[in-house]
């Protein structure tokens, strides 16, 4: 997500708190930008977890794997 989009999210959030509020088009834009932001955060977290390794007391290393039966 670009800094411009994050700035736009913040701008819309500030405007929503003013007495004039947001137009319907701005509300839709805000929702879309928020959805995009959340998805970018999820991708970033998944990437970090995929690169994580567990180090056992004996020094062996293994990649972190999702638990069976868990949604992911």
Instruction: Return the domain boundaries, the chain.
Output: 3-63
Q: Using alpha carbons, list the distances in angstroms from residue 45 to 22, 51, 72.
A: 31, 10, 12
Mean pLDDT over the full length of the chain: 91
If DSSP codes are grouped into helix, strand and coil, which group holds residue 1?
coil
CA distance 9 to 33: 7
pLDDT at residue 71, as a whole number: 62
CATH tag, 3-63: 1.10.287.540
pLDDT > 70 in the chain, percent: 94
Measure the CA angle with vertex 33, ends 27 and 39; round to 5°. Answer: 135
pLDDT at residue 1, as a whole number: 85
Q: Which carries the bigger pLDDT value, residue 68 or residue 20? A: 20
Dihedral of CA 19/20/22/24: which sign?
positive
- Which residues on adjacent β-strands are paired with residue 54? 62
Task: Please compute the mean of the pLDDT values over residues 36-45 and round it to a whole number.
Answer: 96
Query: Which structure tokens are listed for 33?
Result: 């930008």
């Amino acid at each position: 997500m670009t800094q411009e989009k994050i700035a736009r999210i913040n701008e819309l959030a500030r405007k929503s708190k003013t007495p004039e509020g947001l137009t319907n088009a701005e509300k839709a834009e805000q929702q879309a930008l928020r959805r995009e932001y959340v998805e970018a955060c999820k991708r970033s977290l998944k990437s970090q977890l995929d690169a994580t390794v567990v180090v056992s007391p004996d020094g062996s290393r293994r990649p972190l794997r999702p638990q069976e039966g868990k949604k992911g």
